[in-house]
Amino acid sequence: MSSPATAKITTPSTTAELPPEHIYFGPSKAMQTVRQRVERAAGLNVPILILGESGTGKELLARFVHFRSPWTAGPFVKVNCPAIPGTLLESELFGFQKGSFTGANAAKPGRIEMANGGTLFLDEIAELDAALQAKLLHVLQDGHFTRIGDHEERRMDARVICATNRQLAQEIDAGHFRSDLFYRINVITITLPALRDRRDDIPYLVEYLRQNFNRKFQRDTPPLSKETLHLLQDRDWPGNIRELENAMARYVVFGSEDTFFAERSERPTTQFHYEASEGNIPLKRIAQQATRQMERDVILRVLQANQWNRRKAAEVLKISYRALLYKVRQAGLPVKRPRRKAPDQENSTFGSADSRIS
Ligand SMILES: Nc1ncnc2c1ncn2[C@@H]1O[C@H](COP(=O)(O)OP(=O)(O)OP(=O)(O)O)[C@@H](O)[C@H]1O
Ligand SMILES: [Mg+2]
């Protein structure tokens, strides 16, 4: 049985790139809006543009749209635009005729053709160079294309889904992306929220991923304690679901909630969230952040070294017990020692996940 927030893709793929079994939407308003838009748009043969930071699930959503569309029996063909060098990308997309360039020993269909009857997924579309943007625009306007070195016009017969983690408006302003291409691909836009903007979903996602990894790794790792769950909900997750997914995989493999804290303290302390595009770099704020991060790491190590005995830790750090508690909370560290093995399911915010996940 499928929970209302989880959607199962049951149709087998005809391509080598098999879809993952589930996409988890979660109960947050933002994700429910995404789901409604997908359900409405999946059946229409109009381009869809999926926006969202890295790791928010753009590719997973593109596959979901495909499997919810009338073209689900057709192929899902992905083109990872930045992964293929410019000149090669053109032949990959459009295909070529025998002898059209050195090394073209046999004719080859491009990915546009391979996607016939299915979905063409153009990933990281903002990375296309100017010449290819013009060619793609032409295909989308005209519905026809030619292989390199060929005269025959072929009809494009695929639904197009594009994705990017860039701000396309900024790319257009900077002259890096054609506005006419933007209007072509942007008939329906679906924006995936960053994980920090859907914190309500985190406990559900955690539980969903825990069960998935338990099945995958044949483990029986228990649900997380309330404290750790709250802590994870407070994190910013710059790597979004991908980062949470990795953290949960580690937890299931090692069977200890310590993995959530160990992993954080190993991070370089110079990793702050200042985008170059933000322009201003407030040094004072960076210094404060760096100090807090260092404090956090030291407190964590001292707590770990003293089996989470807070009085002892306060003594070692030469601060008052109250000051330590304040700093522990401020740093988002658990006040009590995180459980190593936690068979006590009552302690968890979520009971049996069977009631939630199919
Ligand atoms: N809603 C979701 N439910 C379950 N797993 C998810 C969900 N969204 C993302 N994931 C998982 O997170 C990881 C990243 O997803 P995906 O590759 O689709 O993100 P992306 O937005 O395309 O990232 P990037 O911009 O870095 O390419 C994948 O392993 C995917 O299975
Ligand atoms: Mg992607």
Residue nearest to atom 18 of ligand 1 (CA): 57
Is residue 244 a part of any domain in this protein? yes
From the CA of 52, which ligand is nearest?
1
Is residue 98 a part of any domain in this protein? yes
Domain termination site, one of 145, 177, 193: 193
Q: What is the pLDDT of residues 242-280, one digit of tens each?
A: 999 999 999 999 999 988 887 554 444 444 454 444 456
Distance 105 CA to ligand 1 centre (A): 38
Q: Is the CB of 59 under 6 A from ligand 1?
A: yes
Is residue 159 a part of any domain in this protein? yes
Q: Is the CB of 241 under 6 A from ligand 1?
A: yes
Pick 321 or 332 by higher pLDDT. Answer: 321
- How far apart are the C-alpha atoms of 180 and 190, rounded to whole Å? 19
Is residue 35 a part of any domain in this protein? yes
Phi-psi region of 55 (alpha: psi -120 to 50; beta: other; left: phi over 0): left
Q: Which of 31, 53, 56 to mutate to test the pocket of ligand 1 (most atoms within 8 A of CB)?
A: 56
The total of structural domains in the chain comes to: 2
**Nearest alpha carbon to residue 194 among 31, 7, 18:** 31
Pick 104 or 325 by higher pLDDT. Answer: 325
Domain termination site, one of 193, 221, 253: 193
pLDDT tier at 339 (50, 70, 90 boundaries)?
low
First to last CA, the chain: 5
pLDDT score at 290:
76
Average pLDDT for 187-207: 95
Is residue 355 a part of any domain in this protein? no
Q: Is the CB of 112 under 6 A from ligand 1?
A: no
Is residue 356 a part of any domain in this protein? no
153 shares its domain with 15 = yes
130 shares its domain with 238 = no
pLDDT score at 349:
34
Degrees, nearest 5: CA angle 16-20-21: 125
Average pLDDT for 314-342: 80
140 shares its domain with 119 = yes
pTM: 0.75
84 shares its domain with 217 = no
Q: Is the CB of 7 under 6 A from ligand 1?
A: no
41 shares its domain with 162 = yes
160 shares its domain with 289 = no
Atom of ligand 1 nearest to the CA of 59: 18
Q: Strands, E, within 20-93: which ranges?
A: 22-24, 48-51, 76-80
Give the CATH number, domain containing residue 252. Answer: 1.10.8.60
Domain termination site, one of 137, 170, 193: 193
Atom of ligand 1 nearest to the CA of 31: 1
Distance 319 CA to ligand 1 centre (A): 43
183 shares its domain with 224 = no
Q: Is the CB of 56 under 6 A from ligand 1?
A: yes
135 shares its domain with 178 = yes
67 shares its domain with 138 = yes
- The bridge status of strand 119-123 relative to strand 76-80 is parallel
Collect contacts of 35-38 with beta carbons under 8 A, ≥24 apart. Answer: 35/7, 37/188, 37/190, 38/64, 38/65, 38/68, 38/190
pLDDT score at 88:
86
Average pLDDT for 85-92: 84
From the CA of 6, which ligand is nearest?
1
SS3 content of the chain, % helix, strand, coil (to 5): 50, 10, 40
Q: Are the CB atoms for 120 and 111 separated by under 8 Å?
A: yes
From the CA of 245, which ligand is nearest?
1
Give the CATH number, domain containing residue 70. Answer: 3.40.50.300
Calculate the dihedral angle through the C-alpha atoms of 335, 316, 268, 323, rounding to the nearest 10 degrees: 50
Is residue 1 a part of any domain in this protein? no
Residue nearest to atom 28 of ligand 1 (CA): 242
Q: Are the CB atoms for 182 and 126 separated by under 8 Å?
A: no
105 shares its domain with 149 = yes
Partners of 78 in the beta sheet? Answer: 121
pLDDT score at 282:
66
Q: Is the CB of 125 under 6 A from ligand 1?
A: no
Q: Is the CB of 94 under 6 A from ligand 1?
A: no
Atom of ligand 1 nearest to the CA of 163: 22
Domain that holds residue 306: 196-274+283-350
The percent of residues above 70 in pLDDT, for the chain, comes to: 82
Is residue 358 a part of any domain in this protein? no
- How far apart are the C-alpha atoms of 187 and 184, rounded to whole Å? 7
From the CA of 59, which ligand is nearest?
1
Partners of 121 in the beta sheet? Answer: 78, 161
Q: Is the CB of 165 under 6 A from ligand 1?
A: yes
235 shares its domain with 189 = no
Distance 57 CA to ligand 1 centre (A): 3
21 shares its domain with 140 = yes
